[in-house]
Structure 1
Amino acid sequence: MKYKILLVEHDGSSLRVLKRVIGKANLDVVTATTLTEAKIIFENSTPESFLCAVVDYALPDAPHGEAIDFAIASFVPVIVITSQTDKDVRERILSKAVVDYIPKSNSQIYEYLSRLLTRLEKNRDVGVLVVGGNTRSRNDIYALLNRHNFISYQAANGEKALEMLNQNPHIKLIITDQKLPDMTGVDLVSKVRKTHTKESLSVIGTSEKGDAALLANFIKSGANDYLRRPYCHEEFFCRILQNVEYVEQIEVIKKTANTDYLTKLPNRRHFFAQVEKIMHSKPQSVSLALIDLDYFKTVNDNYGHDFGDVVLKETARMMQKHFAQDVVSRFGGEEFCVFLSNIEASAAKEKLDAFREAISEKSFKYKDQQVHCTLSIGISHKRTGKIESLLSTADEFLYKAKARGRNCIVDE
């Protein structure tokens, strides 16, 4: 679903620039120059179709933030832009349930707005768990998180928090008070870190005390950050976004390190790591297949490397679909590998042969050209042994498949 942004701005030059900024975030823009126009737009739309509203504080028919109140009442997250920078206006804006406010005098307004809009869209898939014995304090944090489109959860004690964490793998951040009915916040952090690393789950400890020793205890127990109450709206969200983005950046780094750049399949190193985990569980049976595209050099020589890349990427896509329950990898060049566990040798061979036939019937197309390719496959079936032994045997059988004329399977 592509979300819309309601942009309410009366200044023509600002309106044009803001439309370009929002468009670069791959979001549709619906514009209004007055509160009256914004109301008409909402009458003919559903609030759920809007990611948020970007609203100027002072409009010709709403000079004192009335458009902000209207958007909030329509259940749409609101980002306020304003040319008024005095303290009273700032406090008036932040007293409302807004996502954020951005002074027009800020030279970084457009870059920050683009980042904020991207973040609001991403947050729809990010879970945040709020833990605390004080219901009012917990609800206040919960409400703040909802402004930023997070999937928010609440737990009144530590044991409930651990249960909810195990049930919701999309939780990327825990905000926990020090005072809990059944344990301390520091104790909760220690329990969480037994199963979740700092790189996979951020934790922020909170407390009303400004005790440096408590801050140190939270950090030493595995918390990523610490927030003293009372805190201002802006500090709260800066800390939240910083910790969520830290986890996301680590995920991107890991994915990049474990993925083949061209085909997006797991690379050889990650393949070994995945298979080793499965082998430790002692599966009843395993099969490992080495798959090689026949005469692939000819494809590159006759049609060019761009066409060759198309063949590799399409083969990888078909492989991911056909072996959705198995471990697949691009080993390099035109060679791929599949690891199948808890499947009998005959069934594994049948599954691989079906894939071989699918590739042989596939017409690979690029621009005005097309080509057909075939596969040679060597399979090793062993219930025990190391991965290196499986690979060695599969490689031996792949060589035999090539020697037998290609487009065939050889196994033990």
Structure 2
Amino acid sequence: MQKKVLVIEDSRTAMNIAVKLVEKAGLVPVPAQSLTEAQHVFTHSVPEEFLCAIVDYNLPDATHGQAIDFCLESVLPTIVITGRMDNKTRSDVLRREVVDYIPKENAQTYDYLSRLLVRLERNKNIGVIVAEQDRSTTRAMVPLLKRHNFTTYEVNSAEETYRLLRENPNIKLVITGHEMEDQHSTRLIANLRVEYPKERLAIISVCDKNNELNSARFIKSGANDFLLKPYCHEEFLCRITQNIELIENVEALTSLANTDFLTGLFNRRYFFDRLSSLVSASPASHAIAMLDLDHFKQINDTYGHDAGDDVLITTARLLRQCLPEAIIARFGGEEFCVFMHQTAPKLAFKKVETFRRTLEQQFIQSGESSIKVTSSIGLITDLKADLSECVSAADELLYAAKTNGRNRVICDIPEVTARLATTT
């Protein structure tokens, strides 16, 4: 269900902009032009349905931020927008526990609001470690992170930091001070970089302004960024966001490079890059299946290429459904490869046979057409060679399945092959 955003704004122009930004973020705007209207709307709604509120500091019936107080008392994360740029207004806003405040200054500030709305939802799945012996620093940071919906972990030792990272793959950022209980922070950073590259884990170091030399030491040890104390509310949150977004952008680019654009499965290059060393290390415990859709050219010729795409997408979905723990790649065209990690031979055969039967029974809708398709599969369970040779061996069995009538699995398991031969 889409989350809602309460928008309290008396300016029609500003309201229209905010509503469009909320919708752009995939959220549902709930507009109100005054504090009174907002109180009525919110009290007649389900609070859990709301992600946050966007509130104008100066409203006709709330000239000094009273609408902010209403939202915070309603346990509603609050983003403040204001046309006032003076220090007094800024201080009055930031003394409250708001998510952030945004001046109605230019198009870029509204772009920041748009990104912030997306972040509030996305941050729920992101962990941040605050590794710091100075309790006052921790007490200042953690509430700010929680207002932005991050999952926070407070530690005061390097060993706890290592453990949390091993146990929580959602952690994307470590904020560390100068000294830990059991290790200097430069050593902590250097150790983390051995296992976690900068595009996987961001590290921000925090140090006093009167000891600026430490910032260079932290960066040289592998930190992504640094903060000098005392820092302002906005600088802290902007640096956090920028470092998280950098990691997400790298992840998005990596995903594009490693996946097939149509089906979302891995591509051939990633399949070989990821699995070559794994097969070489323990070949006997895995299985590889090569499969091909039967008479796929006829589907394209009869129903069109859009229908062919629908068939490929459905095939990929059924592969994930029938083989949820397997690594599956589209090798090109209508050919797919499946890697089953530590799977016994007969179980591997059972899984691919289940897929074959499931696909055979499926009616694939494409426009007004209902299409039936079958697959031929070659399965190899004795992986004695390198990955490329194993795939070639599975491909030979696939060819045998094609020449023996299609819509079948042929494998290298003698008893299964003998049983199938007597029933064919």
Matching of residue 132 in structure 1 with residue 132 in structure 2:
yes
Q: Distance in 2 between matches of 1:179 and 1:162?
A: 16
Q: Distance in 2 between matches of 1:344 and 1:12?
A: 66
341-350 vs 159-168, greater mean Cα deviation = 341-350
Q: For this pair of structures, how many residues does the alignment match?
A: 412
Q: Distance in 1 between matches of 2:47 and 2:134?
A: 32
TM-score when normalising by structure 1: 0.96
Equivalent residue for 1:153? 153
Amino acid in structure 1 at the alignment position of 2:188: L
What pairs with 1:10-409 in structure 2 (closer than 5 Å)?
10-282=10-282, 284-409=284-409
Equivalent residue for 1:5? 5
Q: 1:383 to 1:31 in 2, by over 3 A?
A: same
Say whether the 8 Å CA contact 2:128–2:153 is kept in structure 1. Answer: yes
189-198 vs 124-133, greater mean Cα deviation = 189-198
Q: Per-residue deviation at 1:46? A: 4.3
276-285 vs 264-273, greater mean Cα deviation = 276-285
> What's the CA shift string for 1:58-112, capped at 9, x where partnerless?
1111111111122122222111111212222122222322222222232334322
Q: Per-residue deviation at 1:210? A: 4.1
Q: Distance in 1 between matches of 2:367 and 2:92?
A: 59
Amino acid in structure 2 at the alignment position of 1:269: R
C-alpha RMSD of matched pairs (Å): 1.6
Q: Per-residue deviation at 1:129? A: 0.9
The runs of 5 or more residues in structure 1 that have no matched partner are none
Q: Distance in 2 between matches of 1:153 and 1:285?
A: 38
Q: Distance in 1 between matches of 2:59 and 2:219?
A: 46
Amino acid in structure 1 at the alignment position of 2:321: K
- Identical amino acids, percent of aligned pairs: 43
Q: Per-residue deviation at 1:212? A: 4.1
Q: SS of 2:154's equivalent? A: strand
Q: 1:97 to 1:348 in 2, by over 3 A?
A: same
Amino acid in structure 1 at the alignment position of 2:15: L
Q: Distance in 2 between matches of 1:283 and 1:404?
A: 28
325-334 vs 108-117, greater mean Cα deviation = 108-117
TM-score when normalising by structure 2: 0.93
Say whether the 8 Å CA contact 1:283–1:341 is kept in structure 2. Answer: no
Amino acid in structure 2 at the alignment position of 1:385: A
> What's the CA shift string for 1:144-168, capped at 9, x where partnerless?
1111111111112222222222221
Q: SS of 1:382's equivalent? A: coil
Amino acid in structure 1 at the alignment position of 2:147: R
Q: Distance in 2 between matches of 1:181 and 1:156?
A: 6
The runs of 5 or more residues in structure 2 that have no matched partner are 413-424
Q: Distance in 1 between matches of 2:105 and 2:207?
A: 35
Say whether the 8 Å CA contact 1:284–1:341 is kept in structure 2. Answer: no
> What's the CA shift string for 1:180-212, capped at 9, x where partnerless?
222121121122122211110000000114434
Q: Distance in 1 between matches of 2:125 and 2:245?
A: 13
Q: Distance in 2 between matches of 1:347 and 1:153?
A: 41
Q: Distance in 2 between matches of 1:359 and 1:107?
A: 51
Say whether the 8 Å CA contact 2:3–2:49 is kept in structure 1. Answer: yes
Amino acid in structure 2 at the alignment position of 1:118: V
